[in-house]
Structures are given as structure tokens and as C-alpha cells.
Chains A and B, each alone.
Chain A
Amino acid sequence: MKRSSRSLPISGIFRRPDTGPFGRLSTARWSVLLTAVVISAIGVGTVGSASSELGAGYFSRQLVWVGLGLVVSFVVLALDYQRLASLALPIYGSGIFLLVVVLIPGVGRVRGGARSWLGLGSFQVQPSEIAKLTTVLLLARFLAGIAGDRLRTREILVAVAIVALPMGLIMLQPDLGSAAMFVPMLSGMIWVAGVRWRFVVAAGLLGLCIGGAVWTFGLQDYQRDRVLTFMSPERDPHGAGYQARQSKIAVGSGALLGRGYEQGTQSQLRFLPARHTDFIFAVLAEEWGFLGVLVVLGLYGTFFFNAIEVAARARDRLGILLVVGVLATLAFHVLYNTAMVIGRAPITGIPLPFLSYGGSFTLFCFAACGLILNVDYRRYVNR
């Protein structure tokens, strides 16, 4: 198996400039973390406004989550990603273990109709968030080990299997939104690892078939309802269409400059559902208008383009794949959530990275951030 030069991920600098201990750190793309922190700060403020009538609890808790997230990102940064990759299989295994455990009635806790929470005392985590990272790790390791720049069918099938296992377990909870996040992860990673165009076409067709099968057999009634309602929101203005409609009204009523902090009537008078979690962006859009939307989307853009730069100059195939895996997942969260909030996508429980309230998800986002920095920090041969 001959490794083609094109597959070599090295983008230029092979040796770290000798700049001392702080200089070493300064060579990483800190702007990735910086944008994440800025978005999180906006998020904490917006959570505060969205939950103003629920008391200060959400604001301070989210503040703690962001602080913990920063710690997590540094912990992830501290562990050499190649070392992590060597442990990918047991790590993946423990992720799967948690996904199985959470399905056991009495152990996993049900929230919002899905058994997706594990309680550790008063602390609760969503194993699906952990599984996103463990799956990226194993998938990256597997794909990085394949020589050549074109994947063979067998290799693609293994990659699909690595993703399908946690995805299937999450669908059993059932949490369709979280499960769906594995699709962009897989697609992005095998695309970068080298997939033939004909596979892309075949996958598209297969996707349609699976989509049809899932629609017919795999969806709960409420899920089908959501999709139908998404297609025509007038179908049910008080039921499933209500959220979509109220969210769109919130966003639209923000107009260009917004209604001001804590002045959005849609969120303050509780017309908007899931204000501090999945629909946080509607609160932001109502209070800060198109201007606020531009700023936040600009921050996300900056985050993603920096991440892609990190991938582009990573030292090896493993690094590229890790960055692409988490990047694709995070980017899809952002794109799907922002589309959902203005009724351009069916409503499903997909939060907005760094903005939405939620412990596990915030920690996942910062861990992903740490992983990106990890890859960048270790791009030199002379560590």
C-alpha cells in the first residue's frame, strides 16, 4: 500500500520555531477558542434573557458550564491526539457502553420523551454527546490508517458500521436529532478521506431509500407530524406548527435592529417554546435583530474557517480527520438549528453550539474545540 504524496497532510512548516514555552502555545490558533468564548458569552447573556421569568438559575448554571467547558477544552488540549487515537477502541467502547446503559429503564432518565440522560447524583449527562466525540476518534483512527486516497467499498462499510452502532442506539432512545448529527460527521470524514464520486452518488440514492424506509417504519407519529407540519405550517397552527410559527414571528419581529435586551415580546411573554435551549437563536434574533444575527453567524464563520485552516495545516491524516469530524458535526448543528428557527427545517431537538443552554452539549462543544486546538498545537514534528 503506497501512500500518495497528495495524501500527506503536511502543509508547510515542519519544525516549530523556537519561541520558548509561551511561544509554543502562541503558535496554536487561539482564535478558535476565542470565538467560542465570545459566542458563549453572548449565549450566557441570551440564556439569561430567555429564562428571565424562570429565575437566575439558568444564567448562572450556564456560566458554570462555560467555565467547565474551558477546563475541558484545556484537558483535551493537554492529551496528545495521537495517543488518544491509540486508545480509540476502548474509548469508543466506553461510549457505546454508556449508550447501552442509558437505554435501561430505571437507569436512563426520560426527558422530552427520550430516555437519553444518565444521572450521576445531581449531575446529568447525555451519553449521546460523549458518543459524538468517541465515534469521531475511532472513525478518524480507522480512516487515517487506510493507505491511498480512495476508499474501497469494504472500508466504507466499516466506517458506516462504526457510526451506525452509536447512531442506532441513540435512535432507540429515541432521539432522532442527535442521531442525525452522525450523518454529517461520517460524510465529512469519508469525503476528506477520499471517497469516489460514484460513491457519493450511490450514497445519495441509498440515502433517499433509507429516508423513505425511515419515514415509513422508523418514525414516531409525532416525528412524522413535525415533518408534515414543516412542509405546511398552516396545517396545524396550534399544535406542531405552533413552535415553528412563533419562532418565525420572533425572528421576523426583531427586524433589522431588534427589540432590545429582554424586550422581545415573543420570548418574554413565553410565546416562544424552548427559548433557552433549541430556540435560543430566535430569542437572539428577536432582541438584536438582523444585526445580531450577522454578528453571531460571523463569529461561527470565523470559528469554522479557522478550524478548516487547522485541518489544512495539520501534521497528519489523523489530525485532519479529527478536525473535520468535529467541524462537520458542529457546523451541521449551526446550519440545521438556524434553518429550523426560521421554519426552513423540521423541528427537532438540535441545539446551537456555545449558545444553547445545556451542560453536556456545552462540554461537548468545548471538548471539540480543545480537540481542534490539540491538532493544531501538535502540528510540528518536534513536539
Chain B
Amino acid sequence: MGRVRYLMVLLAVTLTLVVANYWFVQGVQGADFRQLAENNRLREVPIQAPRGTILEREGRSLAENIPSYNLRIDPSGTADLSSSLEFAGEILGVDGSTLGARVAAQPDGPVRQTALVAEDLSLGQVARFESVGLEHPEFAIDVSQQRLYRHREQVAHVLGYLGEVNPAELQEKSNPYQAGEQIGRRGIERQYQSLLRGERGERVVIVDSRGRPVGDYQEEQPRAGENLRLTIDLDLQQAAQRALAGRVGAVVVLDPRDGEVLVMASSPSYDPNLFARRLDADAWTNLIEAPHQPLQNRTLQNVHSPGSLFKVVMALGGLEEGIIVPETRVFCSGAKKYFGRRSRCWKRAGHGWVNLREAIKKSCDIYFYDLGQQMGIDAIGRHARRFGLGEATGIDLLGEKSGLVPSREWSRTVRGHPWYPGETISVAIGQGPILTSPLQIAVLMSAAANAGPRPIPWLGEEPSEHRAPAEYASRDWQLVREALRAVVMDSDGTGRSAAVPGLTIAGKTGTVQVVSQQTWVKSEDLPYAERDHAWFASYAPVEDPRWVVVVFVEHGGAGSTAAAPIAKEVYEAILAKSPDLGHLPAS
């Protein structure tokens, strides 16, 4: 039976083939498979870096992290998951089945160990779960960081809030985040996201085939986010927000010397702590649908006509263009015809003969109608831009509106019709197609306070660039600044209601007609949506300006009665903080 020998050959050949195959898998591809085995057993678990805290200028906390206690369950640690959850539900005061639905909905993470049952437990609840640790080993309490905005509505718009990174962002090529991470969505939290975030660490865990951790492999500590000190002054901010309560509007306080933003108040406001927890759909809808859009930062996201504040620009422009001299006088009878249309002064009886100083102090419209008619819209626009109107101020916050400074070309190309000369008359007193944000007005007022130099407002990091100053002859500046001082300090100035004993203030009121009125009607008698917007822009002390205070009240009525008193409250808060100001020479 020689065929037995064939079997020998067959076996030799097949065994050699087997050996060759094992050589290929182990000898040739061994390193690759070793890597695959490592990938199998090692799981990277991120360790979130604590987010940097945000402080106001004196070091008081505006945004910080507090521990939040979450209840987790290891489903394999209990024989009866639903009765375990029922038990947890009793302590938490919720239905066990809703907890069950939540646990069931959770996808397996990189390390499947526990599922989240509930977030943000009270210390009492934590203590109860800790005390039943022996009977219910399946439960575990873990601590995560939650953002706390101590001052709630009062600093909401500056700080902004956090939100979970969304799937679309995770898809982006350069996305540095991980699913579930909280990132800055608005305000400073968003602007300084990369600074505040820090760098996450990583724990490499050894897991078994069911994803349960069986040991640690290595650990890389996270780098905490940097703390950020803002220019905001909490006392003034709170005073401004209080003064705005119940109104729709904004207050900006700048240090005109370097652009530090001391106050950025916007009303209505919201509680950013709402976003620190999982924001439910109802809460979100409430915020979105609330009247007057509380999420809007009205200091820079809403633009309106500046009203009579614009007369500062007109006066300096007129002087430089040589259209007027300080002594130029205009007769105000209360109304005058321009381009065939009668334009009214706000004062029905008229101001009589007024020079530039008086025209500013009393906010005479006829004087500036005359001036505007002679300057023409393009010259007006040129001077407006010298103060930074029509462009973003460059503040370190996203979403700033640049407003509008009109010109004939703009009218042709954007509006599609020629500029009507009658519109120039409106723009001359800051009405019509000219739009500014309170922050832009604060910069304009800073230029007035500095007699030219125009800062870039900032909150977190001082900008390195500079803006061209609003350059005018110092004698012109002197005249205008003197007139602004008279607005508040003189007993017959329109801004008299902002005056505070012990402080010299210069300022200008503004009242913006929302609906064109053919007759003199008191704003208070109109429906809310048709009432005038009120402005007041000011700086103090006049001798050495350290504060620019701008107030805007939407549909508030007249600047002198609705806006100036709010500024007064802010100045009182300033005085309360700086008693040395009382020693400054008052006049």
C-alpha cells in the first residue's frame, strides 16, 4: 500500500502551508496586529480641564466653576435595574420609569461602565446615596464642573454663556472639541473660549472585551484654563443694570483714556445660569419669545439714529469746513422750510437767536438744519466717520453692528435711488438714515472727552492697534466741550437732570423720533412702539475725564427726562466709589 506514503507528502505539504501562514500573520504582520490588540484593550478617557474663571476689575468673581453632583449607575451591578431606579427615583423625587428611559437612551461611551441617571443632585440627596452604598453598590456619585454666574442677570450680556458642542461642529476639520464638551456660545465666554478652556488631559484605561475598565495604563493631567480679569466694574455694572430695570435699553461706561469698558448693561436681561444646566426646550422658547429679546446685547447689537447727539459731529464739522464760526447766529422761530418742506424745532416756541454754544446747549434743531443744508450729506458723512461711526468699534466681543453713515453713493448703490436733499436736513439732527450703537456713541463721547484721541473699547485684553483720532482744531474742541459742559452744568441745559453734586459733567441729550410727527405731540401720549428713543451721552469729570457714560432707552421718551436720570444714577455710583472726586474743583 504505497499510497500511505502519499499521505506523508500531503501532510508535509499542508503542515508547511500552515507554518507559512502563521509566519505571515505573526512574523510579517505581527507588529500591526500587536497594535490592533493594544487598540482593543486601551481606551482614552478625556479629563476635562477646569475652565478659567472670569473676574471683574477688582478681582470679584463673575463666572466660576462649582462642583455638580451627578448620579450614575452601573447596570451590571444590580440584578433588577428597574427596582434600583425606582429606589433612586424615591430619593430624587422623580418617577423611576423616566430615569429608566434616560438610562436606556444613553449610548456606550469609550468605556462602558456607568450610565448617567440624574444631574445636579443636592447635597442631601448625595448624602442619602452615600449612606446606602452597601445595599446599592450599583450607584456612584461623580463630580463634574458646572459654571456659576454669581451675578446672574446683572452681567449676562458681557459674559455670555456656555453650550454643548453640536454635531456639526464636531464634524469640522479643525474641531478641537469632544462630544459633550461645553464651549462658550456668547459674550466673553465665546470670545476668550480658547484662553478659558485650557487643555484637556487624558486617562488611558485598560478595558476588557465588554468595555469594563480593569486598570489604568497612563494618565496625563489636564491644564486648567486661564483666569480672565475683565475691565468691568461690578459696582457700576450693577448700578447701571438696576437703573435700567423695567426699561428696554443699554448703558455703556468707558474709561475714555484707554477704552476700558467699566459697564456694559443691557435690558431686559437673562440669567446665564440657565445655560449651565441642560437647557430644556421650554426655557429656550421662553427666552427666544420673551418680549424685547433679552438675549440681545443692546450696547452693540442694536443700532438707532443718534438724534441730537449727532450735533457734536455737526458742530465740529461745520467749524472745520468753515461754514460756521463760533459767533454765527441763526434765528429759530420753531420751524423753517427746507427744500419745500417745513421742518420743526423740538421747541415749538423757538429759541430765538442762537449761536453755536447755545444751539448745542439747548439742542436747537433749526441751527443744525441750516448747517446741514450748507454742508451736504457727503461732508456730514465724512465727519461722522472721523468719530468711528459706520464701522465696528473693534471691541473684543463678537456680533457688533457697524451701523450706518449715509452718502450719496450709498443711496445709489444700496438703496437704488438718489439721495433726497430733504434727508440731509434729518441727518443734520441725527434722524433718518444714520444708525449708531450705544458703544459707538461711547467712543464718540470719548473722543470729545479726550479732544480727539479715540480709544478702542475692550473688556478682556487691551488691543494693540489704535484708531485715528478725531482731529479738529483745539479751539473748536474747546468750544464744543464747553457747550457740552453747559448742557449738564447750566441750569437751563437739556441734560440738567444728569447733574450730580460734586462732579462736573459734560454731555448731550438725544431724542429720536420713531414716527415722523407733523405736530408737536408729547411722547408719553403715544403708543409704546411710537414713542421716541431717549439718548444721553456724557463724560466726567470735565477737567480730567475718566468716565464716559452713555445711556439709551428704547421708546423711553425724551433724552433729558428718560435717559439723563439713568446716567445720574450711574454717576452717583461712581461718586460713591470715588470720594476723592469731591475735592475736584466744581463749578
Binding site for B on A (CB under 8 A): 6-7, 9, 188, 191-192, 194, 246, 248-256, 265-266, 269-271, 285, 289-290, 293-294, 297, 300-301, 304-305, 308, 311-312, 317, 320, 324, 327-328, 331, 335, 338-339, 342, 344
Contact = CB atoms under 8 A, between A and B. Distances in A.
Contacts of B31: 255
Given A248-B33, A252-B32, A342-B22, A312 B5 contact: yes
Contacts of A308: 4-5, 7-8, 11
A338 B30 CA distance: 17
Contacts of A192: 1, 3-4, 7
A248 B30 CA distance: 10
Given A254-B26, A269-B208, A342 B37 contact: no
A251 B19 CA distance: 13
Contact of A249 (B4, B27, B36, B207): B36
A249 B37 contact: yes
B22 A255 contact: no
Interface in B404-449: none
Interface residues of B, number: 37
B29 interface: yes
A266 B8 contact: no
B214 to A, nearest CB: 7
A265 B37 contact: yes
B4 A269 contact: no
B40 A290 contact: no
Nearest to B207: A269
Interface in B1-37: 1-8, 11-12, 14-15, 18-19, 21-23, 25-27, 29-34, 36-37
A266 B40 contact: yes
A297 B37 contact: no
Contact of A252 (B2, B8, B12, B36): B36
8 contacts: A249-B33, A252-B33, A265-B40, A269-B206, A289-B30, A297-B19, A305-B11, A327-B7
Contacts of B3: 191-192, 194
B209 interface: yes
A7 B509 CA distance: 126
Contact of B18 (A188, A194, A339): A339
B22 A285 contact: yes
A320 B6 CA distance: 14
Nearest to A337: B18
Nearest to B32: A252
Contacts of B38: 265
B41 interface: yes
B475 interface: no
B583 interface: no
A282 B40 CA distance: 16
Given A9-B1, A297-B15, A271 B41 contact: yes
B209 A270 contact: yes
Contacts of B206: 265, 269
Given A255-B31, A317-B1, A265 B26 contact: no
A331 B30 contact: no
Nearest to A332: B14
B30 A311 contact: no
B18 A285 contact: no
Contacts of A191: 3, 6-7
Contacts of A248: 25, 33
Contacts of A270: 208-210
A-B pairs, top 4 by smallest CB distance, nearest first, are A252-B33, A255-B30, A253-B37, A290-B26
A66 B209 CA distance: 31
Contacts of B22: 251, 285, 290, 293, 297, 338, 342
Given A249-B33, A252-B36, A256-B30, A342 B210 contact: no
B1 A7 contact: yes
Given A6-B2, A255-B30, A317-B1, A338 B37 contact: no
B14 A335 contact: yes
Given A188-B7, A253-B36, A320 B30 contact: no
Given A255-B26, A320-B4, A271 B15 contact: no
Interface string B91-134: 00000000000000000000000000000000000000000000
Given A194-B3, A249-B40, 5 more contacts: A246-B209, A248-B33, A317-B1, A339-B21, A342-B22
Contacts of B30: 252-256, 289-290
Contacts of B40: 246, 249, 265-266, 269, 271
Contacts of B8: 305, 308
A7 B1 CA distance: 6
Q: Which among B2, B18, B21 has the greatest number of chain A C-beta atoms within 10 A? A: B18
Nearest to B33: A252
B4 to A, nearest CB: 5
A114 B40 CA distance: 31
Contact of B37 (A6, A194, A250, A289): A250
Nearest to B39: A249
Given A265-B37, A290-B22, A312 B4 contact: yes
A279 B296 CA distance: 65
Given A255-B27, A269-B209, A270-B210, A6 B1 contact: yes
A254 B22 CA distance: 10
Contacts of B4: 192, 308, 311-312, 320, 324
A338 B29 CA distance: 17
Contacts of A293: 19, 22, 26
Contacts of B26: 251-252, 254-256, 285, 289-290, 293
Contacts of B11: 301, 304-305, 308, 331
A246 to B, nearest CB: 8
A342 B19 CA distance: 11
Contacts of B12: 301
A301 B208 CA distance: 36
Nearest to B210: A270
Contacts of B41: 265-266, 269, 271
B207 to A, nearest CB: 7
Contacts of A269: 40-41, 206-209, 214
A55 to B, nearest CB: 16
B37 to A, nearest CB: 4
Nearest to A264: B37
A6 B208 CA distance: 60
